Amino acid sequence: MLAAAGLAIGTTKPALAEFEIQETTIDKGEVEVEYRGAVHWGVPGASTADGSEDALEEVTEPGLRESHDLEIQWSVTDWLQLSVTNSFTQPLGEDLNLTSVEGEALFELIERRGNGLGLAFDFEYEQAINHGDEEEANEIAFGPFVELASGNLLITLNPLFTDQVGDNADTDSLGFDYGWRAEYDFAKHWGLGVEMFGEIEDLANAGSFDDQTHSIGPTLFWNPSGDDEGEGEEKEGKGGDDDRVAGPPEMELSLNIGIQFGLTDATSDTALKFQGALSF
């Protein structure tokens, strides 16, 4: 399932590590292995009328984009989580390549218990793995992660400021990446949500909205390792001390699948995204 659903690449990278939404909860000693992948159709610049790769020119043949992220997380303490992510991309007709290795530290500042607020601070460093003539810059990212819970509804916000570092840096100021999710648990083990992602590479030269990457779409969540209590009973998690949210931090196994629709000329027309996580 992971291999089939994760076929995903092209010329632009999606924001927040292949459509990742990270929650704020940290459980000491927990280890999680997570796979994320996406398939993109209508990638800007994949094939233009004059053969150029200008992302905003008319695309004559919608492109296909493949990408694969494999992440390992370790909750060192009740407030510190470390993770390493390997990102692979495979342009159509070319070999699969490792394109970056990212290290991340997440610090939990306010623990959410049931309804209310959860707050964490995230710091990331991404080392680009260049191949051939590619000259991608290394990047750092930092920002707060926020959770707001009420009943069976959980809203998660992941805003990040970014900065290119190293010899290949070519931006004039900080960039901005964001992702947010509104998820509602409508049945035992099942949740439905809306997710939105975006990226502004250089805030000093942001250009118009159409020059930026923004997408939105629905996501279906399935947590087969969830509580076996009756559907009408409260479970530990979102809605109170006895409610349980459908989310990777609280489950042994979690899966979600969704569709993202591009909102700008610089974004792929559609993307099928998949995520699977196993924690122990």
Q: Where are the beta strands (DSSP E) in the chain?
A: 31-41, 64-75, 80-89, 97-110, 116-128, 138-150, 153-165, 175-187, 190-200, 213-222, 253-262, 270-279
pLDDT at 45: 62
Distance CA 68, CA 18 (A): 8
Distance CA 75, CA 73 (A): 7
pLDDT at 58: 42
The rounded Cα 41 to chain-centroid distance in angstroms is: 18
Of 27, 85, 80, which Cα lies nearest the Cα of 275?
Answer: 85
Distance CA 247, CA 227 (A): 12
pLDDT at 55: 42
Domain segments of the chain as ranges: 2-279
pLDDT at 66: 77
Q: For 278, phi and psi rounded to 5 degrees?
A: -125, 120
Instruction: Pull the structure tokens for residue 117.
Output: 């607020």
Q: Check if the beta carbon of residue 11 is closer than 8 Å to that of residue 53.
A: yes
pLDDT at 227: 56
Second-level CATH architecture of 2-279: Beta Barrel (2.40)
103: Cβ–Cβ under 8 A, 6 or more apart, which residues?
A: 82, 83, 84, 124, 125
- Tens digit of pLDDT at every position of the chain (280 positions): 333 333 333 334 544 567 999 999 999 999 999 999 988 888 776 554 444 444 444 443 445 577 899 999 999 999 999 999 999 887 666 777 899 999 999 999 999 998 999 999 999 999 999 876 668 899 999 999 999 999 999 999 999 999 999 888 999 999 999 999 999 999 999 999 999 999 999 999 999 999 999 999 999 999 987 655 444 333 344 544 445 444 444 558 999 999 999 999 999 899 999 999 999 9
Of 191, 193, 198, 199, which Cα lies nearest the Cα of 246?
Answer: 191
